[in-house]
Amino acid sequence: MSEVPLIKRFLQHQSDFMAYLMAITRDLDAAEEIFQNAAVAVIEHATPQEPIRDFRAWAKELVRRQALGYLRRQSARLKHLRPVEPALLEQIDHIFDEETVDDELRQQELTALRDCIQETAEPQRTMLGMRYQQRASFREIGQAVGKTESAAQRALCRLRKALHDCVRYKLVAIRGSHP
């Protein structure tokens, strides 16, 4: 079988779809749940009856439908939840369709981020790991590093800004131009 399995192709676009879902839901846990449901749908569609001409567009529509279903279920469950405005969803779709991120640029960004994280002090790396790998709350992070909940939140905010600036600086150095 020479063709790349659909799920592998789907996972190659994971960061794009997660960004798309974050724009729609503004909730990491919801985005991850929707992405997983979409992955299951891709697996169930493992042998398409017709060839898929534009895989990214096909998969985006599948993710979009999963997101809308999720939001509909959440809206019914939580009466106070406001649904995503159709115009906003259209804009997000339009941006996603136009977005063609250069794989080389993405790899440079990831490499720069890894380098920047390695350059941070151990307590900051611990906080990052707790927040983004373990999904710890600010309270749990604060307890682990001897800070209050709000101090941990502020420290992570400063750390994210510092990492952002570091990545931009490294990318400028790689490209030899202005950001």
Residue 19: its pLDDT value, please? 85
Q: Which residue segment(s) compose the domain that 48 sits in?
A: 6-98
Tell whether 1 is covered by a domain.
no
Instruction: Please tell me the predicted confidence (pLDDT) of residue 95.
Output: 63
Q: Is residue 25 part of a domain?
A: yes
Query: Within this chain, do residues 84 and 160 fall inside the same structural domain, yes or no?
Result: no
**Per the domain annotation, does 78 fall within a domain?**
yes
**Domain annotation covers residue 152:** yes
Decide: 18 and 31 in contact? Cβ < 8 Å: yes
Domain count across the chain: 2
Q: 158 and 92 in one domain?
A: no
Residues 164 and 107 in one domain: yes
Q: Are residues 111 and 131 in the same domain?
A: yes
Q: Is the pLDDT of residue 65 over 70?
A: yes
pLDDT (0 to 100) of residue 179 = 47
Mean model confidence pLDDT for the chain: 80
